[in-house]
Amino acid sequence: MTDPYAVIGHPIGHTKSPLIHRLFAEATQQAMSYVAIEGPLDPDDGFARAVRQFAADGGKGMNVTAPFKLKAFALADARSERATLAGAANALKFESGRIVAENFDGIGLLRDIEVNLGVPLAGKRVLMLGAGGAARGALLPFLAAGPAELVVANRDVSKGCALVAQVGSRGTGLRACGYSDLATRGRFDLVVNATSASLTGDLPPVPPGVFSPEGTAYELAYGKRLTPFLRLARNAGVHGVADGVGMLVEQAAEAFAWWRGVRPLTAAVIDRLTVPLD
């Protein structure tokens, strides 16, 4: 008997999660299966029905990707502190008829940056572009890493300010601003694109002056080579550019450990999935 797991999203055809978890299961000798589910986009909340049906059929857990992370959070019977403060869930566990929600996006992102890329955040100036679910999941782990300043830039400044107000007591140096304000903010050691712009080949309206040539530019989207954001960083003289494949694998490893009680090694999986940026 194998324990069923899945990832749900829309669209879902691009997902690498089944491959990642198959490799994890093989490496750790776990008896489990893992499939991708195309979640319905309907006004009658077919997402909730799909999740509950998977659990009723014996499913043990699910990863959740766009655009369902907020719905997954709302659907849960219990939520971790990380998920609660992020207001979003990217992993679910089914226990005794209950749905438990977690959010490992921020932990996975931080581990990729600090451990895999060797870029500690302590004492650094960090710029986060976007104030949606990806940014919300990252703020708490980032604040815990001790940056000197963490600025959230968003088109809708009020949304960024609301996010800062929600989590600001968890750390110092957290600020929100609009893109038009970035020209006077100086250079940042780390700039993270947490917007969805790169998924459609677009570029957030960020001035090239925010990049430090000695710093790092990180794109949450993965497998798209040099996105407009990363190209802007390269043209600004930044040598340290990275996409989100490491974050993808690291957050998957956190979910795997939550479900199975063992955390798999990630380096070989990251290497297998890495697409050269150039």
Name the binding residues for shikimate.
Answer: 15-17, 65, 90, 105, 222, 251
Asked if residue 278 is part of any domain, the answer here is: no
Q: What is the pLDDT of residue 151?
A: 96
Residues 110 and 230 in one domain: yes
DSSP structure string for 214-249: EEEEEESS-SSSS-HHHHHHHHTT--EEE-THHHHH
Q: Which CATH number do you get for residue 158?
A: 3.40.50.720
Band of the pLDDT at 201, cuts 50, 70, 90? confident
Place of tokens 């989100």: 244
pTM, 2 dp = 0.93
Q: Are residues 59 and 144 in the same domain?
A: no
Cα 165 to Cα 168: distance, rounded to the nearest angstrom: 5
Residue type, 164: V
Residue 78 domain boundaries: 3-103+246-273
Distance CA 73, CA 75 (A): 5
Average pLDDT, the chain: 94
Q: What angle do CA 266, 65, 217 make, to 5 degrees?
A: 60
How far is residue 218's CA from residue 193's CA, in Å, rounded to a whole number?
A: 6
DSSP H or E stretch at residue 256: helix 245-260
237 has pLDDT over 80 = yes
Residue 121: inside a domain, yes or no? Answer: yes
- 223 lies in a domain? yes
Cα 237 to chain centroid, rounded: 26
110 and 35 both lie in a single domain: no
Residues 233 and 142 in one domain: yes
Among left, alpha and beta (phi > 0; psi -120 to 50; other), residue 164 is alpha
The answer to whether the beta carbons of residues 244 and 222 sit under 8 Å apart is: yes
Arithmetic mean of pLDDT, 132-144 = 87
**Residue 170 confidence (pLDDT) above 80:** no
pLDDT band at 43 (very low <50, low <70, confident <90, very high): confident
CB atoms within 10 A of CB 177: 18
**Residue 93, H or E segment:** strand 91-95
Same domain, 91 and 129: no
The answer to whether residue 144 sits within a structural domain is yes
Same domain flag for 197 and 153: yes
Measured in Å, how far apart are the chain's first and last C-alpha atoms? 44
> Is residue 180 included in any domain, yes or no?
yes
Which residues are catalytic, by number?
69
Which residue numbers belong to the known binding site? 15-17, 65, 81, 90, 105, 130-134, 220, 222, 244, 251
Is the same domain home to 110 and 235?
yes
Q: How far is CA 254 from the centre of its chain?
A: 12
- How many domains does the structure of the chain reveal? 2
